[in-house]
């Protein structure tokens, strides 16, 4: 299997929105090296910014090696943009290279209005929304046997006069409960495992929050994407040099559906709502359906590597 490759996410930095317009150029290289020539089956690449990404995209390119392939761009049922690759010859190396330019402008994560019916928690979705959102309200069948998960759900399941503040509290509760850690193993921990260990990767804490929201009657989905962090001081100052200290990594977070507001991003790694640096690539019912690279190959020894380079600079102001 050449991938359900999913990075563990970035170090938990303070990703406050930059106080000015910034230009970010991201280069992401994923490489699979095989110990012999292998036949690659069809692959799905989910590394294109999603239609609902709020950050302006200046330029995007996807390069795939070997060159002996066909590429077909398509949308999945959730409107994610996918590249489907079909290879015509055996190869010893498979590379996926993304170049992406974005404009980081300050985004207000609270720039939305709730429908009055959803101002307080709990609330009910309309019949139409209930039918559409049914898959996003379904919890794992095993959750009934997870004592820590059920205890947490009972702890949070209290009427609240302000739905947004309720969601913020739940997000921050997960951020406190789960210590971020790099985890290279494939797949995702169950919510119960994450609570028992008290640690996990970004995808683990995000899947926990998705399942928790669903348990509380809120439609939620899993999101994978890039996180661009511009390193700022406690006062929010940025250096005067042309290139600003920054880092980027594949990341994961949760989105919850609120009537009147739509899908709202919650990042349980930081306990914050998502901002300009969250570049959504794929939203899905579960983490497996949001894997950046997915496909099969002949059985062989494989060496996997991936690297993201980021360059951030201040945007020039017209005179």
Q: Pairing between strand 199-200 and 179-180?
A: parallel
Please check whether residue 27 lies inside any domain of the structure.
Answer: yes
Please check whether residue 52 lies inside any domain of the structure.
Answer: yes
CATH code: domain of residue 98 = 3.10.620.30
The rounded Cα 32 to chain-centroid distance in angstroms is 22
> How does pLDDT run across 27-74, given as a tens digit for each residue?
999 999 999 999 999 999 999 999 999 999 999 999 999 999 999 999
pLDDT reported for residue 59: 97
H helical segments located in 127-251: 127-133, 147-156, 163-177, 191-197, 202-215
Please check whether residue 149 lies inside any domain of the structure.
Answer: yes
Unique residue bearing structure tokens 């690297």: 307
The rounded Cα 128 to chain-centroid distance in angstroms is 27
Specify the pTM: 0.89
pLDDT reported for residue 317: 54
Q: How far apart are CA 251 and CA 253, in angstroms?
A: 7
Report yes or no: 43 and 84 within 8 Å, Cβ to Cβ: yes
Angle in degrees, CA 134, 79, 290, rounded to 5: 80
pLDDT reported for residue 230: 82
For the stretch 204-222, what's the b/e string if a residue is b when 16 or more beta carbons lie within 10 angstroms of its beta carbon? bbbbbbbbbbbbbebbbbb
pLDDT reported for residue 232: 54
pLDDT reported for residue 277: 93
Please check whether residue 110 lies inside any domain of the structure.
Answer: yes
SS3 of 51-67: the string is CCCCCCEEEEEEEEECC
How many helices (H) does the chain have, and how many strands (E)?
5, 17
Report yes or no: 65 and 295 within 8 Å, Cβ to Cβ: no
Report yes or no: 9 and 247 within 8 Å, Cβ to Cβ: no
> How does pLDDT run across 151-178, given as a tens digit for each residue?
999 999 999 999 999 999 999 999 999 9
Q: How far apart are CA 250 and CA 304, in angstroms?
A: 15
pLDDT reported for residue 187: 86
Angle in degrees, CA 227, 233, 270, rounded to 5: 40
H helical segments located in the chain: 127-133, 147-156, 163-177, 191-197, 202-215
Tokens in use for 81?
């943009």
Q: What is the pLDDT along the chain (319 residues), one digit of tens a residue?
A: 444 344 444 444 444 444 578 999 999 999 999 999 999 999 999 999 999 999 999 999 999 999 999 999 999 999 999 999 999 999 999 999 999 999 998 889 999 999 999 999 999 999 999 999 999 999 988 888 899 999 999 999 999 999 999 999 999 999 999 999 888 777 899 999 999 999 999 999 999 999 999 999 999 999 999 999 886 543 445 555 556 667 889 999 999 999 999 999 999 999 999 999 999 999 999 999 999 999 999 999 999 999 999 999 887 655 5
Paired strand residues for 230? 246
What is the dihedral angle through the alpha carbons of 161, 165, 170, 173, rounded to the nearest 10 degrees? -120
Angle separating helix axes 147-156 and 163-177, nearest 10 degrees: 150
Closest CA to 254 of 287, 228, 215, 217: 287
Report yes or no: 7 and 250 within 8 Å, Cβ to Cβ: yes
User: What is the total count of domains within the chain?
Assistant: 1
Please check whether residue 269 lies inside any domain of the structure.
Answer: yes
Please check whether residue 319 lies inside any domain of the structure.
Answer: no
pLDDT reported for residue 286: 95
Range of the domain at 291: 3-314
Q: How would you classify residue 278: left for phi > 0, otherwise alpha for psi between -120 and 50, otherwise beta?
A: beta
């Amino acid at each position: 299997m050449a991938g359900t490759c999913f990075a563990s996410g970035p170090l938990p930095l303070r990703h406050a929105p930059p106080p000015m317009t910034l230009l970010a150029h991201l280069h992401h290289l994923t490489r699979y090296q095989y110990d012999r020539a292998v036949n690659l089956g069809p692959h799905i690449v989910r590394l294109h910014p999603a239609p609902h990404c709020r950050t302006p995209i200046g330029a995007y390119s996807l390069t795939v090696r070997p060159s002996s392939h066909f590429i077909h761009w398509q949308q999945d049922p959730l409107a994610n943009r996918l590249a489907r690759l079909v290879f015509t010859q055996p190869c010893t190396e498979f590379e996926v290279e993304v170049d992406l330019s974005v404009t980081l402008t300050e985004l207000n994560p609270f720039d939305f209005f709730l429908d009055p019916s959803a101002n307080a928690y709990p609330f009910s979705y309309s019949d139409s929304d209930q039918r559409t959102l049914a898959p996003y309200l379904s919890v794992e069948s095993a959750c009934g046997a997870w004592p820590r998960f059920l205890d947490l759900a009972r702890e949070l399941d209290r009427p609240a006069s302000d739905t947004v503040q309720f969601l913020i509290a739940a997000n921050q509760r997960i951020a406190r409960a789960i210590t971020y850690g790099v985890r290279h193993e494939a797949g995702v921990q169950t919510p119960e495992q994450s609570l028992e260990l008290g640690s996990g990767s970004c995808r683990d804490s995000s899947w926990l929050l998705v399942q928790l929201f669903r348990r509380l009657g809120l439609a939620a989905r899993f999101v994978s994407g890039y996180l661009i962090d511009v390193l700022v001081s406690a006062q929010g100052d940025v250096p005067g040099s042309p290139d600003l200290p920054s880092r980027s990594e594949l990341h994961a977070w949760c989105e919850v559906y609120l009537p009147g507001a739509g899908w709202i991003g919650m990042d349980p790694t930081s306990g914050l709502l998502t901002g300009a640096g969250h570049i959504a690539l794929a939203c899905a019912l579960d983490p497996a359906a949001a894997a950046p690279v997915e496909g099969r190959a002949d059985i062989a020894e494989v060496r996997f590597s991936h690297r993201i380079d980021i360059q951030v600079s201040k945007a020039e102001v017209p005179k």
